[in-house]
Amino acid sequence: MIRTRIIGTGSYLPSRVVPNEEIAQTLGMSPSRIQRLTGILSRRWAGDHEASSDMAITAGRRALEAAGCPGSAIDAIVLSTTSPDMAFPSTACSVQRGLGCKQVGAFDVSASCSGFLYGLSMAHAMIQSGQIRTCLVLASEVKSRSLDHQDEATALLFGDGAGAVVVRGEADPNPEWRGILGIRLYTDGSHHGLIRVPSGGSRNPLSSDTLRRGEHVLRMQGASLFRLAIRRVAQAVQDIFKEFGVSSGDVRQVVLHQANGRILAQVANRLGIEQDRVASVVERYGNTSSASLPIALDDAARSGKVSPGDLVLLGSFGGGLTWATGLVRWS
């Protein structure tokens, strides 16, 4: 039987640290209030010279090093981003060039903050079908350049960063399943307006009017989005637990999209999972959109929070509305 295993993780955070004190000055609120609302103490913002591909290349290189895998061994590259270097070609093409990989399939995925799990699901499916053996799955976001820094709903949340994993299909006769057990994806487009950049696409192209109205920055109905996301993710987790015959007590580490600290706490509470089993980097890095889950996963792996044989729960939600869950037996 072919198992899809995560054999290496990596991440990259820009060097510029943006503490709550800096955000507070712009928004006219106290740093402590930002922390109470979000659980965030600081976030990282990309330098003027950094684009999504630059961060993805570094995160990808670190994942390859952790896996002991040369770039020449990669059979496909899947990159999640909602902040690509440009409209086209895909940012994944720049990553392929930057890492010196073979001329393999490389493409972008746009599923908002759920994008990494969507990309991981594609890699898993390609491996299980026999199309490829080894895939580099990345997520890279430069959200700081699409923020209205006067908008309290978004300005205090978002940061920049990139995360990556190397996944490989390996024959494994061991009856104890190691690797990706399953990933489940969901969408409800009736809620697409809860978080979006209103203009800049084919429906509302760039114009002097859209610029004047401030329609090229991220807009979010935070309270509605988060309430809905908590319910949907909690239900999806219960569904995947039932499907694979596991319970919350079997899970060693929970790695969720790092939207904000309060959401992490509420989802864990609904699932009956103690906070010490929930990976959290949001206090240091803020909400890095689709990159937040692989960044948190890399942090958990490198800090020894997961060991071979541990059951790891993955979960995310984002614009669309999209959400996803996954179960991995660490190997």
User: For residues 139-164, b (16+ Cβ closer than 10 Å) or e, as one string?
Assistant: bbbbbbebbeeeebebbbbbbbbbbb
Is the Cβ–Cβ distance between 150 and 302 less than 8 Å?
no
Instruction: Specify whether 101 is catalytic.
Output: no
Q: Of 274, 279, 269, 272, whose CA–CA distance to 306 is shortest?
A: 279
Instruction: Specify whether 174 is catalytic.
Output: no
Provide the pairing of β-strand 195-196 with 105-109.
unpaired
CA distance 96 to 85: 14
DSSP H or E stretch at residue 22:
helix 20-27
Termini Cα distance of the chain: 15
Number of neighbouring beta carbons within 10 Å of residue 289: 35
Active site residue: 101, 124, 135, 257, which one?
Answer: 257
Number of neighbouring beta carbons within 10 Å of residue 205: 9
Active site residue: 113, 135, 191, 260, which one?
Answer: 113
Half-sphere exposure at residue 141, Cβ-oriented, CA atoms within 13 angstroms: 33
Instruction: Specify whether 191 is catalytic.
Output: no
Q: Of 224, 124, 118, whose CA–CA distance to 182 is shortest?
A: 124
Burial class (CB in 10 A: 0-12, 13-18, 19+), 176: exposed
Largest CA distance in the chain: 62
H helices then E strands: how many in the chain? 11, 13
Q: Which amino acid is at 105?
A: G
**Residues identified as active-site:** 113, 257, 287
